[in-house]
Amino acid sequence: MKNLYLTAILPPEDLTEQIDAIRKECAELFGVEAALKPPVHITLFRPFSIEDERENQILKLLSPIGHHHSSFKVNLENFDTFNNQVVFIRVLKNEGLADLQREISGIYNRNKIDPKEFKSRSTFNPHITIAYRDIPAAVFPAMWEVYKNRKFKRSFTAESFILLKHDGKKWQPFKEFTLKKQEENLLF
């Protein structure tokens, strides 16, 4: 049997609640609900399906990553869009986030965890989705009018990343990996 997984950073609970309120507001105003299904998150590697027997391999591959990275600040600023199909909160790029995403993506690609990703190698554009998939083309201009000049500026410290597993109805936390770079012992 195959299961669906997603590798992501989850903001702290108070910030998640603020962002979720924006998602719910958007859903209510424009009748779009797809973005309410996943938790508020920053995707590090897109959802992929693997056989049950490979689950332990994923955990073994991800376990050492946290020891290679220190926690880092994540800055969120205002809203943006992808091709008139997605409205999101911008995550400002930073070295810590880019390095973490690059290592996770590289490990998945080298181990052929998701062959589609291995072939496409898409550009990393960190964001937190407010609305997507079910936005009617006729509704998008009005939606974007609400968010395009709206200000939103928050930050948090990413202290971990998480592997989420879909249970058939919704995403569930499966395994959290703490970002705690181990300092090398210097020999003199």
Query: Is 164 inside any structural domain?
Result: yes
Domain assignment present for residue 185? The answer is no
- Given the structure tokens 């990996």, which residue do they identify? 177
Q: Kindly state whether residue 188 falls inside one of the protein's structural domains.
A: no
User: How does DSSP classify residue 181?
Assistant: P
Give residue 12's domain range: 2-178
* Per-residue confidence (pLDDT) for residue 122, from 0 to 100: 63
Distance separating alpha carbons of residues 90 and 4, to the nearest angstrom: 26
Residue 167 domain-assigned (yes or no): yes
Look at residue 181 in the predicted model and tell me its pLDDT: 82
Which helix (H) or strand (E) element contains residue 162?
A: strand 160-166
d(CA 162, CA 179): 11
CB atoms within 10 A of CB 18: 14
Q: Is 168 left (phi over 0), alpha (psi -120 to 50) or beta?
A: left
DSSP state of 132: -
In a domain? residue 184: no
How many domains are contained in the chain? 1
pLDDT digits (tens, 9 = 90+) for 33-66: 999 999 999 999 999 999 989 999 999 999 999 9
CATH code (residue 113)? 3.90.1140.10
Residue 59 in any domain: the answer is: yes
- CA distance linking residue 150 with residue 140, whole number of Å: 16
Residues in the chain predicted with pLDDT less than 50, given as ranges, are 117-120, 185-186, 188
In a domain, 22, yes or no: yes
Q: What is the pTM of this model?
A: 0.92
Alpha carbons within 13 angstroms on the beta-carbon side of residue 133 total 8
Phi, psi of 66 (to 5 degrees): -60, -25
Q: Is residue 187 part of a domain?
A: no
